[in-house]
Amino acid sequence: MEHYNVDQKIQDFIAKIEAKNPNEPEFLQAVKEVAVTVIPFIASRPQYNGMKLLERMSEPERTIIFRVPWVDDQGEIHVNRGFRIQMNSAIGPYKGGIRFHPTVNLSVLKFLAFEQTFKNSLTTLPMGGGKGGSDFDPQGKSDMEIMRFCQAFMTEMCKHIGPETDVPAGDIGVGAREIGYLFGQYKKIRNEFTGVLTGKGLAYGGSLIRPEATGYGVVYFAEQMLKTIDQDFNGKTVTVSGFGNVAWGVIKKVEELGGTCVTISGPDGYIYDKDGITGDKIDYLLELRASGNNRAEDYVKKFPGAEFHAGKRPWEVKCDVAIPAATQNELDLEDAKILVENGVVCVTEAANMPSTLEAINHFLEHKVLFSPGKASNAGGVATSGLEMTQNSIRLNWSSEEVDTRLKEIMIGIHKACRDYGKEEDGYVNYVKGANIAGFVKVAEAMLAQGVV
Ligand code: 2IT
């Protein structure tokens, strides 16, 4: 009876969110994953019951959608759409990245902002959840076009953000160069030099280790996961997708810990390098990304010992640890089945929501160690939080100091997931653990602050 009631509550909740947010599949996917784990928890806690906490968390506090007009190098006018989702500010100013990619739409940014709220809570730092971006495609654009687009985007966004209000950062398509142009325009319009963005260059308030932080944090987290089964990275074969900033940090740290990454991927297919992506090859990844081609295939031109598999994903390669580091829904049930058949022991998400719900369930059913991005990729935003701290105290910390704090934070997140996600047989359900641990802090703050 008890179970029937909770299942009914989950179904009713999902039906309500579906009715309210039609045509937003990614957002619904993210909310569903949280609902099935958090609603039973809420039902078991009288203080949370009836407070509509998850319903409130699923409605952005504010959604800003704006026109971004800009002029290309040929003098042609273009109109893109800009967004900033200010999801939840219960525990701190809105915080989260800006994505420039043609797939950006309201659904994608709402899913990212929703996950960001839980992720930021898990870091234990005082940051609420937000996300923004544009359907602008940076591929093939000149440097001056990128600059003009960033300026046009910030001309509107600067009215809605600030160091105590909302602090954006990078995400797909937004790196150090874009953050620089965005920062310059904010400073010019507002006449303020503040920590309004993170991921800044070192010369103007950035933090050491921020570029590496997401990838390093993922590997620190995976190290903790492996430790629960008395294993480590030494001698492990690791498959990675993507070839951006996150994949780069992952590959660097895995090498340091004695493992070998053998794949990267792009929209065109994946690279299998049986000798391992090590040494100079890791530095080459930065070049590959900076080329702006968005093609993984270029890797084999430089390193002919590697193979390129057009139109395929790296999950068919046998591995011990899989680290999806590209984008949402890049690993589906079929991929999950192959990974499990091939004996994967640990899947640590580095991208945001790279696995479909069906893939996640397959991993959980087979008791594979599986961690959701909102837990394992939180090192990026955590280090953004450390950048905010450094900006506030007007000091810069050493790499060692930032890296030590990052590692401590990742160990802390792992522990929180374990505390809330450990099942009777000892298996840790990190999805459940991350969702509940992330929920509790936000929920407590919302309860204390009343219905606002
Ligand atoms: O998804 C993410 O956590 C990010 N893109 C980083 C966000 C941030 O504010 O550093």
Burial class (CB in 10 A: 0-12, 13-18, 19+), 310: exposed
Q: Which residue type occupies 286?
A: L
CA of 94 to the centre of ligand 1 (A): 11
CA of 435 to the centre of ligand 1 (A): 18
Confidence at residue 78, expressed as pLDDT on a 0 to 100 scale? 98
Q: Which of 94, 123, 207, 214 to mutate to test the pocket of ligand 1 (most atoms within 8 A of CB)?
A: 214
CA distances from 72 to 35, 98, 146 (A): 44, 21, 9
Q: Which of 26, 86, 116 to mutate to test the pocket of ligand 1 (most atoms within 8 A of CB)?
A: 116
Q: Distance between CA 401 and CA 127 in Å, rounded?
A: 20
CA of 199 to the centre of ligand 1 (A): 9
Crossing angle of helices 210-227 and 399-421, in 10° steps, is 40
- Residue 352 CA: nearest ligand 1 atom is 1
Sorting pLDDT into bands at 50, 70 and 90, what band is 4? Answer: low
Q: Distance between CA 252 and CA 38 in Å, rounded?
A: 35
Sorting pLDDT into bands at 50, 70 and 90, what band is 299? Answer: very high
169 within ligand 1 shell (Cβ under 6 A): yes
Confidence at residue 1, expressed as pLDDT on a 0 to 100 scale? 46
- Residue 170 CA: nearest ligand 1 atom is 5
- For 173-212, the pLDDT digits (tens) are 999 999 999 999 999 999 999 999 999 999 999 999 999 9
Contacts of 311 (CB under 8 A, 6+ apart): 268, 269
Residue 284: both structure tokens together: 């080459």
Q: Which of 132, 123, 126, 85 is closest to 104 using CA atoms?
A: 132
Nearest CA residue ID for atom 3, ligand 1: 381
- Residue 116 CA: nearest ligand 1 atom is 3
- For 412-447, the pLDDT digits (tens) are 999 999 999 999 999 999 999 999 999 999 999 999
Confidence at residue 3, expressed as pLDDT on a 0 to 100 scale? 57
- Residue 99 CA: nearest ligand 1 atom is 5
Confidence at residue 2, expressed as pLDDT on a 0 to 100 scale? 53
Check pLDDT > 80 for residue 28. yes
Identical fold for domains 1-192+435-452 and 211-376, yes or no, is yes
For the chain, give the number of residues.
452
Confidence at residue 293, expressed as pLDDT on a 0 to 100 scale? 84
> One of 95, 110, 131, 252 is an active-site residue; which one?
131
Strand 166-169 relative to strand 237-240: parallel, antiparallel, unpaired? unpaired
* Residue 422 is among the residues annotated as catalytic for this protein: no
CA of 368 to the centre of ligand 1 (A): 26
Confidence at residue 290, expressed as pLDDT on a 0 to 100 scale? 87
359 within ligand 1 shell (Cβ under 6 A): no
Residue 327: both structure tokens together: 């984008």
Q: Distance between CA 351 and CA 86 in Å, rounded?
A: 21
Residue 446: both structure tokens together: 């919302």
384 within ligand 1 shell (Cβ under 6 A): yes
Q: Distance between CA 183 and CA 200 in Å, rounded?
A: 8
Confidence at residue 294, expressed as pLDDT on a 0 to 100 scale? 87
CA of 28 to the centre of ligand 1 (A): 20
- For 99-157, the pLDDT digits (tens) are 999 999 999 999 999 999 999 999 999 999 999 999 999 999 999 999 999 999 999 99
Q: Which superfamily does 211-376 belong to?
A: NAD(P)-binding Rossmann-like Domain (3.40.50.720)
Q: Which of 117, 171, 376 to mutate to test the pocket of ligand 1 (most atoms within 8 A of CB)?
A: 171
1-192+435-452 placed in CATH 3.20.20.70:
no
198 within ligand 1 shell (Cβ under 6 A): yes
Sorting pLDDT into bands at 50, 70 and 90, what band is 241? Answer: very high
Confidence at residue 292, expressed as pLDDT on a 0 to 100 scale? 81
Which whole number is the average pLDDT over 221-232?
98
Contacts of 434 (CB under 8 A, 6+ apart): 118, 122, 371, 372, 374, 375, 413, 416, 417, 420, 421
Q: Distance between CA 294 and CA 244 in Å, rounded?
A: 9
* The three-state (H, E, C) secondary structure of the chain, written as one string: CHHHHHHHHHHHHHHHHHHHCCCCHHHHHHHHHHHHHHHHHHHCCCCCCCCCHHHHHCCCCEEEEEEEEEECCCCCEEEEEEEEEEEECCCCCEEEEEEECCCCCHHHHHHHHHHHHHHHHHCCCCCEEEEEEECCCCCCCCHHHHHHHHHHHHHHHCCCCECCCEEEECECCECHHHHHHHHHHHHHHHCCCCCCCCCCCHHHCCCCCHHHHHHHHHHHHHHHHHHCCCCCCCCCEEEECCCCHHHHHHHHHHHHCCCEECEEEECCEEEECCCCCCCHHHHHHHHHHHCCCCCCCHHHHHCCCCEEEECCCHHHCCCCEEECCCCCCCECHHHHHHHHHCCCCEEECCCCCCECHHHHHHHHHCCCEEECHHHHCHHHHHHHHHHHHHHHHCCCCCHHHHHHHHHHHHHHHHHHHHHHHECCCCCECHHHHHHHHHHHHHHHHHHHHCCC
Nearest CA residue ID for atom 4, ligand 1: 97
Check pLDDT > 70 for residue 300. yes
171 within ligand 1 shell (Cβ under 6 A): yes
Nearest CA residue ID for atom 9, ligand 1: 96
Check pLDDT > 90 for residue 340. yes
Confidence at residue 386, expressed as pLDDT on a 0 to 100 scale? 98
217 within ligand 1 shell (Cβ under 6 A): no
Sheet bearing 307-310, strands edge to edge: 263-266, 269-272, 307-310
Round the average pLDDT of the chain to a whole number and report it: 97
CA of 178 to the centre of ligand 1 (A): 14
Which whole number is the average pLDDT over 295-319?
96
Which whole number is the average pLDDT over 86-109?
98
Contacts of 166 (CB under 8 A, 6+ apart): 84, 86, 93, 94, 95, 130, 160
% of the chain with per-residue pLDDT over 90: 97
Confidence at residue 428, expressed as pLDDT on a 0 to 100 scale? 97
Q: How far apart are the first and last CA of the chain?
A: 34
Confidence at residue 122, expressed as pLDDT on a 0 to 100 scale? 98
Q: Which of 98, 172, 376, 384 to mutate to test the pocket of ligand 1 (most atoms within 8 A of CB)?
A: 384
Q: Distance between CA 403 and CA 423 in Å, rounded?
A: 31
Which whole number is the average pLDDT over 251-256?
98
Domain coordinates of the chain in residue numbers?
Answer: 1-192+435-452, 211-376
CA of 447 to the centre of ligand 1 (A): 26
CA of 251 to the centre of ligand 1 (A): 19
